[in-house]
């Protein structure tokens, strides 16, 4: 495996191998294609985003995967050919650091550590800085205004990119979305005409049957959860603060035809911890709960149900069957990757604990929860044919790790799950190949559920290069129908969509 260490020697796994950033912005036209690009992809663009620190982190030991500046990777399908391009999202942080030509701000594991230049860019005067330092010292954490200034800077737009109500948005979950154009140039912050009351998560959901979208925010100050309904035209039609007893990370939520499901799991996000080494603390004694609210309901209408201790980043979908909500989630015993103690500055790369795929059935009247195992291999990134979101799905997708060395990457197998037959149709790329989320796009307008293609960026650790694979989503085990070769690698990223 090639050693990529653009910032010099480090044993931090997130700055090594294919987690290390690719800091050049390039465009490659007419890429080499094995096989044939399906007709149905012509005119479409795969856009993805991931963390890619532009400058050497201030403290390499404490750099975390979630910190890197958002880099958009885009594949343009044009008349059977493929063009690739990558550009940074020009966030506030990126602009300040680009002007200074060095890193100014700390990340998630170094709390609010930053340089004097960084504080000055954030408009913190001496008095304000001393006041915040004192508050951190006595354990109460920053004021709301101080926290909001810092959160703006931690927002790297590195988590997801998608079309929402006619805008192409690159998102993180600590701040607000950035709008970009189809050539992936940054337009600027987008906050729904100042109607976002705080940060917004990177997994908004659109009900394709009504055109309405929904999103959430979470923060370490009340209201800890915020819920929004967005019209098809992109207007925020409803804002509802959701009352919960303390702040936690909530990376995604569930949406069915009539209900939303909130995850209140104990990765506690306490303002008192902001400014220390780690703002999120796993507190199992606080337990895990699911909240179910009618989509048009109020906070008081939410029914909260205690469930066995666990952690969930992502779900595939949620639908209703009588009094039951059915949702497939990648479930962990505790939050992975975070909640590391400060004496453990170089986190091991492998997932500890691993995520497993389960189907939950929650009775929203009684709170009874039934769990069915789908696979106990390490999994992540459940996706689906989003034209059927909120309704019963027959097909779903996720990635899995099988028979491989976890030190080099996280997943190597694409899985298509048929929920009618309960059979997995899967493809393992083999030794030295690693991939992330599989993105579905339909083969043509009006195609049946699951009739379409799965797109994956795959890294070959031997060649130190990446490729894009295209699968027939109904026959993944047959292998890719087309493979597009890049002249270099693409760093491991998080999420994306076809637009």
Annotated binding-site members: 203, 251, 314, 495
In whole angstroms, give the CA distance from residue 490 to residue 499. Answer: 20
CB 6 within 8 Å of CB 23:
yes
In whole angstroms, give the CA distance from residue 200 to residue 191. Answer: 9
In whole angstroms, give the CA distance from residue 5 to residue 16. Answer: 6
CB 90 within 8 Å of CB 36:
no
**Encoded tokens for 376:** 């106990």
Binding-site residues for Fe cation, in ranges, read 203, 251, 314, 495
Q: Quickly count: other Cβ atoms within 10 Å of residue 483's Cβ.
A: 15
In whole angstroms, give the CA distance from residue 251 to residue 284. Answer: 18
Sheet order of strands, 254-255 included: 254-255, 259-264, 288-294, 303-307
Q: How far is CA 64 from CA 109, 237, 268, 347, in A?
A: 7, 36, 18, 9
> Helix, strand, or coil here: 476?
helix
**Residue where the block lists tokens 């979630």:** 66
**Residue where the block lists tokens 């915020």:** 226
The dihedrals phi and psi of 98, each to the nearest 5 degrees, come to: -65, -40
Using alpha carbons, select from 26, 41, 17 the residue that is nearest to residue 480: 41
Return the axis-axis angle of helices 126-137 and 144-154, rounded to nearest 10°: 100
Beta-bridge partners for 471: 454
Give the max Cα distance, the chain: 65
**Encoded tokens for 49:** 């985003």
Cα–chain-centroid distance for residue 430?
Answer: 25
**Encoded tokens for 224:** 């800890």
Beta-bridge partners for 225: 218, 242
**H-helix segments, 90-125:** 92-100, 116-121
Q: CB within 8 A of 332, min separation 6: which ones? A: 310, 311, 312, 313, 353, 354, 355, 356
What single DSSP character describes residue 274?
B
Q: For residue 420, count CB atoms less than 10 angstroms from its CB and return exposed for 0-12, middle for 13-18, buried for 19 or more.
A: exposed
- Omega prior to 28 cis, within 30 of 0: no
In whole angstroms, give the CA distance from residue 390 to residue 419. Answer: 15
Using alpha carbons, select from 189, 192, 166 the residue that is nearest to residue 179: 189
């Amino acid at each position: 495996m090639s050693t990529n260490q653009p910032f010099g020697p480090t044993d931090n796994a997130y700055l090594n191998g294919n987690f290390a950033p690719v800091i050049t912005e390039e465009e490659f036209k007419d890429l080499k294609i094995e096989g044939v690009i399906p007709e149905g992809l012509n005119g479409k663009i795969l856009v993805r985003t991931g963390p890619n620190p532009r400058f050497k982190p201030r403290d390499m030991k404490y750099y975390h995967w979630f910190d890197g500046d958002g880099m958009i990777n885009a594949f343009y399908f044009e008349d059977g050919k493929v063009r690739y391009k990558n550009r940074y999202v020009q966030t506030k942080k990126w602009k300040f650091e680009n002007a200074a030509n060095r890193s100014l701000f700390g990340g998630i594991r170094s709390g609010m550590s930053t340089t004097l230049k960084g504080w000055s860019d954030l408009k913190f005067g001496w008095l304000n800085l001393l006041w915040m330092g004192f508050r951190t010292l006595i354990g109460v954490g920053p004021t709301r205004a101080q926290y909001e200034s810092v959160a703006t800077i931690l927002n790297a737009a590195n988590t997801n990119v998608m079309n929402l109500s006619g805008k192409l948005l690159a998102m993180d979950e600590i701040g607000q979305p950035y709008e970009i154009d189809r050539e992936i140039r940054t337009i600027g912050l987008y906050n729904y005409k100042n109607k976002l009351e705080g940060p917004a998560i990177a997994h908004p959901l659109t009900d394709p049957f009504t055109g309405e979208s929904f999103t959430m925010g979470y923060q370490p100050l009340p209201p800890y959860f915020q819920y929004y309904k967005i019209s098809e035209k992109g207007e925020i039609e409803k804002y509802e603060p959701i009352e919960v007893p303390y702040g936690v990370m909530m990376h995604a939520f569930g949406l069915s035809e009539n209900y939303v499901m909130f995850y209140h799991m104990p990765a506690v996000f306490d303002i008192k911890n902001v400014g220390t080494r780690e703002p999120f603390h796993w507190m199992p004694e606080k337990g895990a709960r699911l909240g179910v609210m009618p989509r048009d309901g109020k906070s008081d209408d939410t029914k909260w149900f205690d469930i066995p201790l666990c952690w969930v980043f992502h779900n595939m979908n949620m639908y209703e069957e009588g009094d039951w909500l059915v949702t497939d989630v990648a479930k962990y015993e505790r939050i992975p990757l975070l909640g590391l103690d400060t004496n453990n500055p170089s986190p091991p790369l492998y997932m500890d604990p691993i995520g497993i795929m389960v189907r939950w059935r929650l009775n929203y009247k009684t709170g009874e929860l039934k769990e069915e195992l789908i696979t106990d291999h390490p999994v992540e990134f459940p996706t689906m044919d989003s034209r059927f979101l909120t309704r019963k799905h027959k097909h779903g997708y996720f990635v899995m790790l099988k028979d491989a060395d976890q030190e080099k990457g996280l997943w190597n197998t694409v899985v298509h799950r048929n929920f009618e037959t309960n059979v997995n149709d899967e493809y393992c790329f083999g030794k030295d190949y690693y991939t992330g989320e599989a993105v579905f796009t339909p083969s043509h307008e009006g195609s049946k559920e699951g009739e379409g293609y799965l797109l994956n960026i795959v890294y070959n650790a031997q060649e130190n290069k990446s490729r894009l694979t295209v699968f027939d989503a109904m026959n993944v085990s047959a292998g890719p129908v087309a493979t597009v070769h890049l002249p270099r690698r693409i760093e491991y990223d998080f999420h994306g969509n076809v637009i």
